[in-house]
Amino acid sequence: MAKKYGMIHDNNLCIGCQACNVACRSENQIPESVYRLQVWVKQEEYPNGGLGYEYHRQSCVQCENTPCVSVCPTHASYKNEDGIVLIDNDLCVGCLYCVAACPYQARYVHPVTKAPDKCTFCHESRLARGEEPACVTVCPTDALIFGDLNDPKSKINKALSERVTYRQKESLGTQPKMFIVPNHKGGIRS
Amino acid sequence: MAYFQARRDFLKLATKSATATVLIPGSLGALGEVALRGEDKFVRSICEMCSSRCPMEARVINGKTVLLQGNAFAKEMGTSLCAKGVAGSSQLYDSQRLVSPLIRVGKRGENRWREASFEEALNLVSTKLSALKERYGARSVIFSSKTGEHYDLLRSFASAFGSPNVFSHWSSCPIAIESAFHHTFGEKLHRDFENATYILNFGHNLFEGLDISLTKAMAHFCANPSKKLVVLDPRFSIIAAKADEWHSIKPGSDLAFVLALLHVWIRDGKFDHTFVEQYTIGFDALVDAVKETTPQWQQTRTGIDASVVERIAAELYAATPRCIIDWGHKATTTQAEFQRSRAILIANILMGNVEKEGGIYLTKSAKRVNALAKESIVPELNDPFPRLQINEPRIDGAGEEGAYCFVSKQHGVLTAIPEAILSQKPYEIKGWFLTRHNPLITVADPQKMKEAMEQLEFIVVNDIYLSDTAMMADVILPECTYLERDEGISTLTCKVPTYAMRNKIVAPLHENKSAIEIIRALAERMGYGSHYAWKNSSELRAFQAKGNAELLQTLLLRGVASFDVPFFCARESSLVERFCERYPKSRAWVDAQGCFGHLLTHLKTPSGKIEIYCDAVEKIFKGYGVPRSVDMDVSQGLPYVLTSGKSAVHTNGHTQNVPYLSRLLSSNPIWMHPSTAKAHGLKMGDTFYLQNAIAKEKATVFITEGIRPDTLFAYMGFGRDAPSLARTHGKGTNVSKFLSLASAPICGAMITNVGVNIIKA
Ligand code: SF4
Ligand code: SF4
Ligand code: SF4
């Protein structure tokens, strides 16, 4: 059966340390001025007056229903057989409709290729070798879990069955394959 | 000697690994770019982006490293590594690195240099150092280094040279807790976070000052709803945000909180009486010292409600022995630091968590494990860094009669250096050899330190970057990064005996040499060659391993070596039994309770037991024999306390210019509470001045609810004056400039919380 790769970002474990961010940059040779992945640490004040930090993973969420692919006139943006959304630079005409269409602001224009670029689940750099994505590999707190959603025995399915998750902007119907475990902590008062 | 045979075997092995490519880590200089070309291989080594030294692994493609990740052969690490660790490759290829020795041509500190060959630079250093020794005596040269192999090398070299004046970075970092351990247990203990159920944390921020295995354990602890973490910190740090409770304690007042805990436990008789009786001395003195330190008493000092202390005391007691009162590393520092650190250790002791699962435990070193097993189950290492006894007084008086009699001669008091140089007391200082040490950023009052350095005749610095301190040098010796050098075997032991080894990942990209090569070459030139039993890193390793080629092979291939020794806590009979089953001769040690209790009655303290009361300390520093209330003030009459700490992406001074990391955090705006900002008419991002008696520095403001109104906070390591650090030069504020050279009594710790004023720009 075809694979369907997905990822979990567990906000209870995430500490916003940016190891994932740097690993992505290093593994995928991302130029300095752009990024495929950042974790935004935002200080929140909760209704009870307490404080907390939220850790927002800013990257492609690997939608099942893909606005970026639908909008592409040349099929340069496509979803591969493993459910990973990718870009074929040779087909790209540089219209950048996909950049505008992505509701998650996940795409940027690569300063060298001038084509759009974004998280590929390390398809080209690591998956082919049987390795997990760079961000998942280095995360110091095991906050990221990666795996095949079609495999009932995979790590990710096990975690999904044990942890409550949500997806970003679920109402858009994009069906991201990036699942988020919300932060239980926070709202702390001194 | 056996090790020469080992060395031959070892070299054979190394040569073999050069031809067997894919899985074999290259090392010993046998593998250069040529051997690596067109291949994809893994090399396992040790990180050096911070002092935690996590085991790591690099994938090398075509002789270029691509990704650095954790070394999964170190079980507690998995493949995890922090942002700094992963960014090691960006340091390796940084165009702003030092790539050739530099010799000063302008005035000292003027930053004018000429490039020189290593040959010339080393000749110059050896001639100058020898001349200083000839003219003023060996003691006229100071040697300083961060701890680790650099320090071991330098200390050994200094002893061959004949100078007593060796300094590590300890007095600017963990010296208080180290000293507290020494006086309480005679050695350092570790925390079993994995198995604890309740942790009281005094600012030990493992989520911003990372140490991967501990950070990972703590993250899983926090995410587990059945466990409880309480954090006391004036700032809403990341770990505070992961806690179940955060109390924004007044800076410097940890001691008051702990004394109140001790008071409550003793008042109610709620502590481990049997443990205290069996394994400790001096409890009565403690009872007396904490009579008055009630929860109410602490409330005025810490700002934390008395009822909170009562509750936390009860919760901790209910969680015994699986509870930890976490001391931190360089958490708050005040002049009460020695008492604070001791009080925290004694709180652990009263909870009876010593050598219990989920508590604190003695290092299970090779020596300890072998002695217990009554057989050699883990190889022990030779010390490759001989030290001669130097019978000369030190310039800071460490380890000698006087204020610093309890400070180890091995580490010294860095803040005492400027005064000693400037006053020429107790004698003249003329030279300073620094390796990987940047006191102008990491030590108090760099203004004064610089003034003192200007008086010196000769300064030599070994570093990767042209740091603020390197700028003051006569000669800069550029070291290769940790990815380009081999080192000896280091000990990683906590729960079980573990060794690790730094293996070269790529051949040096430039002229740079390793500290081993630099120090060894100097020793040869200066006539101390016979001081060492080795000539290069491979001989050093072979000597250390005492002829154990198998150990070396494991360390070459895996980067770490552990020996399948089962972990035990001396006071957990089931774990003791498991150990005895494996090593039957160890049954001879088992006591009536089924424990290895003797481990806790034969400690290296004067009494052999755990010392709640230290007679030696009391004799010289009256009132300090047991924890009691001492002056905790850090504001010195000024309205605000400036505190500092780490972020997850930088160390205290080394990483600010590393390309990947500088982009993640390039400055350190000062954290300020909205009410404070309002009172001074400051808006987010505004510029203002911080001022106290010794400095007035520009800063920008970061307004946040996550800090007490009377407290300010800055990340360390910014405000760099060195223009060669182009990415970070001139950005942010160097908080060390506000710190005074006065150090904490007994332990000699630098005091890192300091009173300041806010002045509008
Ligand atoms: S590496 Fe892990 S903990 Fe760090 S920011 Fe990324 S997801 Fe969070
Ligand atoms: S999966 Fe790979 S490309 Fe995507 S964010 Fe992680 S490291 Fe970057
Ligand atoms: S904590 Fe990070 S920088 Fe420090 S040694 Fe570990 S991986 Fe390296």
Q: What is the per-residue pLDDT across A51-85, written as a single tens digit (0 to 9) for each?
A: 899 999 999 999 999 999 999 999 999 999 999 99
Instruction: Note the Cα B62 to chain centre separation in Å.
Output: 35
- What pLDDT is attached to residue B2? 40
Asked if residue B166 lies in contact with residue B143, where contact means CB atoms within 8 angstroms, the answer is: yes
- Contact A141 CB / ligand 1 (< 6 Å): yes
Tell me if B441 sits within 8 A of B720, measured CB to CB: yes
Size (chain B), residues: 761
pLDDT at B363 over 70: yes
Q: Is there a domain that residue A28 lies in?
A: yes
Rounded mean pLDDT of chain A?
94
Phi and psi angles of residue B388, each rounded to the nearest 5 degrees, phi first: -90, 150
Structural element, H or E, at residue B296: helix B295-302
Q: What is the pLDDT of residues B296-350, one digit of tens each?
A: 999 999 999 999 999 999 999 999 999 999 998 876 689 999 999 999 999 999 9
List, for chain A, all residue ranges whose pLDDT scores fall below the cut of 70: 186-190
For residue B62, the tally of other CB atoms under 10 A from its CB is 11
- List, in order of start, the domains of chain B with CATH numbers: 185-363+598-620 (3.40.228.10), 640-760 (2.40.40.20)
Q: Which of B67, B208, B220 has the CB atom closest to A23's CB atom?
A: B67
- Quote the pLDDT of residue B401: 95
At a CB cut-off of 8 Å and minimum separation 6, what does B360 contact?
A: B189, B190, B191, B192, B324, B348, B353, B354
Distance of alpha carbon B720 from alpha carbon B150, whole angstroms:
24
**Which residues have CB under 6 Å of ligand 3?**
B 47, 49-50, 52-54, 81-82, 84-85, 210-212
pLDDT the model gives residue A45: 82
Strand partners, B757: B691
A20 neighbors A138 (Cβ within 8 angstroms): yes
**Among the partner residues A10, A26, A141, nearest to B86 by beta-carbon distance:** A26
> Mutation test of the interface with chain A: which of B69, B86, B193, B707, choosing the one with the most A Cβ atoms within 10 A?
B86
Q: Give the separation between CA B399 and CA A162, rounded to whole angstroms.
A: 57
Best probe residue, ligand 1, of A7, A12, A18 (max atoms within 8 Å of C-beta): A18
Residue B23 DSSP label? T
DSSP state of B401: S
Residue B38 confidence class, pLDDT cut points 50, 70, 90: very low
Structure tokens given for B178: 């180290």
A106 found inside a domain: no
Q: Is residue A90 part of a domain?
A: no
Cα distance from B733 to chain A (closest Cα, Å)? 22
Best B41, B242, B312 residue to mutate vs chain A (most A CBs within 10 Å): B242
Res. B114: pLDDT tops 70: yes
Q: Which atom of ligand 2 lies at the shortest distance from residue A136's CA? A: 6
CB under 8 Å to B432, separation ≥6 — which residues?
Answer: B141, B142, B143, B144, B453, B456, B458, B459, B460
Q: Is residue A136 part of a domain?
A: yes
**Residue ID of nearest Cα to ligand 1 atom 2:** A139
Query: What are the CA-CA distances from residue B246 to residues A185, B238, B285 (Å)?
Result: 11, 11, 32
Q: Do B67 and A134 touch (CB under 8 A)?
A: yes
A188 touches chain B (CB under 8 A): yes
| A105/chain B closest Cα distance in angstroms | 19
Q: Cβ(A127) to ligand 2 under 6 A?
A: no
Q: Which residue of A has its CA nearest to B208?
A: A17
> Residue B10 above 60 pLDDT?
no
Decide if A31 is inside a domain: yes
What is the model's pLDDT at position A50? Answer: 82
**Token reading at B501:** 């080894």
Residues of A in contact with B61 (CB under 8 A): none
* CATH number, residue A153: 3.30.70.20
Q: Residue B711: which of A158, A82, A190, A41 has the closest Cα?
A: A190
Choose the closest CB to B79 out of A18, A138, A185. A138
B427: alpha, beta or left, given left = phi > 0 and alpha = psi -120 to 50? beta
Q: A51 and B236 in contact by Cβ < 8 A?
A: yes
Q: Residue B261: is it exposed, middle or buried by C-beta count within 10 angstroms (0-12/13-18/19+)?
A: buried
| ipTM confidence | 0.95
The proportion of chain B whose per-residue pLDDT surpasses 70, expressed as a percent, equals 94
Q: Whose CA is nearest to atom 7 of ligand 2?
A: A24
First to last CA, chain B: 69
Structural domain span for residue A46:
5-63+118-181
Give yes or no for residue B423 having a pLDDT over 90. Answer: yes
Considering only CB atoms, B207 lies closest to which of A10, A15, A25, namely A15
C-alpha distances (whole Å) from A24 to each of A29, A38, B277, B683 are: 8, 9, 55, 35
Angle (CA) B265 B269 B272, round 5°: 80
pLDDT at B20: 27
> Would you state the structure tokens that stand for residue B743, as one six-digit string?
């150090």
Average pLDDT over residues B562-566: 95
Minimum distance, in Å, between the CA of residue A74 and any CA atom of chain B: 33
Residue-wise DSSP of B65-118: EEEEEE-TTSTTTTT---HHHHTHHHHHT-TTS--S-EEE-SSTTS--EEE--H
**A128 to chain B nearest CA, in Å?**
14
Which ligand sits closest to the CA of A145? 1
Please name the member of B225, B661, B705 whose beta carbon is closest to the beta carbon of A45: B705
Residue A20 CB–ligand 1 contact under 6 Å:
yes
CA distance B344 to B609: 18
**Residue A97: inside a domain:** no
CB atoms under 10 Å from CB of B512, counted, come to 22
In which band, very low, low, confident or very high, does the pLDDT at B17 lie, cut at 50, 70 and 90?
Answer: very low
Interface test with A, best of B40, B49, B69, B210 (most A CBs within 10 A): B69
Strand stretches in B100-165, DSSP E: 102-104, 113-115, 141-145
Number of domains in chain A: 1
Query: Which atom in ligand 1 lies closest to the alpha carbon of residue A16?
Result: 5
Which residues of chain B have a CB within 8 Å of the CB of A141?
80, 215-216, 219-220
Indicate which ligand has the atom closest to the C-alpha of B81.
3
Q: How would you class B419 by CB atoms within 10 Å of its CB: exposed for 0-12, middle for 13-18, buried for 19 or more? A: middle
Chain B residues in contact with A53 (beta carbon < 8 A): 238, 241
Q: Do B243 and A188 touch (CB under 8 A)?
A: yes
Q: String of b and e for B519-528 (b: at least 16 CB within 10 Å)?
A: bbbbbbbbeb
Distance from CA of A69 to the nearest CA of B (A): 30
Ramachandran assignment for A142, one of left (phi > 0), alpha (psi -120 to 50 degrees), beta (any other): left
Say what the pLDDT of residue B331 is: 67
- Ligand 2 near A145 CB (within 6 A): no
For residue B553, what pLDDT band results from cuts at 50, 70 and 90? very high
Check pocket membership of A144 for ligand 1, CB cut-off 6 A.
Answer: yes
B618-641 tens-digit pLDDT = 999 999 999 999 999 999 999 999
In this complex, do A188 and B241 lie within 8 Å of one another by their Cβ atoms? yes
| Ligand 2 pocket residue status of A21, Cβ below 6 Å | no
- Cβ of A15 closer than 6 Å to ligand 1, yes or no, is yes
**Cross-chain residue pair A142–B236, CB shorter than 8 Å:** no
Whether A141 contacts chain B with CB within 8 A: yes
Taking the CA atoms of B649, B650, B656 and B659 in sequence, report the sign of the dihedral they define.
Answer: negative
pLDDT band at B31 (very low <50, low <70, confident <90, very high): very low
Report the percent of chain B where pLDDT is more than 90.
92
Give CA–CA dist B134/B137, Å, rounded: 6
Mean pLDDT of B499-521: 95
Residue B6 has pLDDT above 60, yes or no: no
Helix (H) or strand (E) holding B279, with range, is helix B273-279
**Contact call for residues B502 and B514 (beta carbons, < 8 A):** no
Taking the CA of residue B83 as reference, the ligand 3 atom at the shortest distance is: 2
- Tell me the pairing of strands B431-435 and B458-463: parallel
- Is residue A55 assigned to a domain? yes
pLDDT tens, B660-708? 999 999 999 999 999 999 999 999 999 999 999 999 999 999 999 999 9
Cross-chain Cβ contact B246/A188 below 8 Å? yes
Mean pLDDT of chain B: 93
Mean pLDDT calculated for residue range B575-592: 98
pLDDT, residue B39, reads 53
CB A4 within 8 A of CB A84: no
Of A17, A51, A137, the CB nearest to B648: A17
In a domain, A129, yes or no: yes
Which chain A residues touch B78 with a CB distance below 8 Å?
142
Q: How many residues does chain A have?
A: 190
What number is the average pLDDT over the span B609-614? Answer: 98
Query: Ligand 3: distance of its center to the CA of B91 in Å?
Result: 14
Q: pLDDT for B386-421, tens place per residue?
A: 999 999 999 999 999 999 999 999 999 999 999 999
Closest CA to B758 of B682, B702, B669, B694: B682
pLDDT band per the 50, 70, 90 thresholds, residue B24 = very low
Nearest atom within ligand 2 for CA of residue A27: 7
CA B84 / ligand 3 centre spacing (Å): 6
- What pLDDT does B28 receive? 23
